[in-house]
Amino acid sequence: MPMSNTDKPLFNQKAHALEKEYEVCPECGGELSIKNGKAGPFLGCSQYPSCQYTRPVVEHERVDDQILPGSECIKCGSLLAVKQGRYGMFIGCSNYPACDHIEHEEEDESEEHVACPSCSKGQLHEKLSRFGKKFYSCDAYPKCKFIVNHKPVAGECVHCGFGLLVERHMAAGDKLQCASKKCGKYQ
């Protein structure tokens, strides 16, 4: 029975993976085999644990650092470059590792910062996790580890008296909730 056009790409992917499965380990000369890990399939040496060579099945394209003409590092005066890091693209000093300056996105000045209810010294600032989710944490970190997942609003809970409320977007409309994990009641 002839293959349909929809089956051919999958067949080609499997054949490509099988070709790589019979490669030789560059470190010990053992046979490479496809293994599965928490991040997906990878090629590993069959002589494991004496040889710990691994590499991804599909090589991802690496972007070389691109110098930004007319830009200057505020720490050392070198040029800035667009770089690719663990969490994506960023702009940093081309003189790394001697200079570790990284450009951050400029914060909106109209954004109000709410005082941290835990330490009363810091302000709550919006940040992004490595997965791209917003959260709000105290700028006195690591001394203060206060964090909330929803936009903080200055105010006091009418039920428990906690000094912070968070804005929640519900199906019934926007509501304010106590930021205390013990209380959590809506206003």
> Do 164 and 130 share a structural domain?
yes
**126: pLDDT strictly greater than 50:** yes
Residue with tokens 């912070």: 164
Asked whether residue 118 falls in the same domain as residue 164, the answer is yes
Q: Is 98 a member of any domain?
A: yes
- Final residue of a structural domain among 104, 131, 154: 104
Identify whether 70 is part of a domain.
yes
Q: Among candidates 156, 120, 160, 154, which has minimal Cα distance to 138?
A: 120
Kindly compute the dihedral angle of the four CA atoms of residues 71, 77, 80, 84, in this order, to the nearest 10 degrees. -160
SS3 156: coil
Residue at 57 is within a domain: no
Domain finish residue from 46, 73, 104: 104
The verdict on 99 and 125 lying in the same domain is no
* Residue-number span of the structural domain to which 151 is assigned: 114-178
> Is 47 a member of any domain?
no
pTM greater than the 0.85 cutoff:
no
* Statement to judge: residues 98 and 120 lie in one domain: no
Q: Does residue 168 fall inside a structural domain? A: yes
CA-based max dimension of the chain: 73
Q: How many domains does the chain have?
A: 2
In tens, the pLDDT along 9-43 reads 444 444 454 454 468 888 888 888 888 888 788 88
In-domain check, residue 69 = yes
Q: Rounded CA gap, 146 and 15, in Å?
A: 51
Distance, in Å, from the CA atom of 183 to the CA atom of 186, rounded to the nearest integer, reads 9
Closest by CA position to 148, among listed 176, 172, 125: 125
Give the model confidence (pLDDT) of 67-117 as tens digits. Answer: 888 888 888 888 888 887 766 778 888 888 888 888 876 655 445 678 888
Q: Are residues 77 and 119 in the same domain?
A: no
Q: Do both 92 and 120 map to the same domain?
A: no
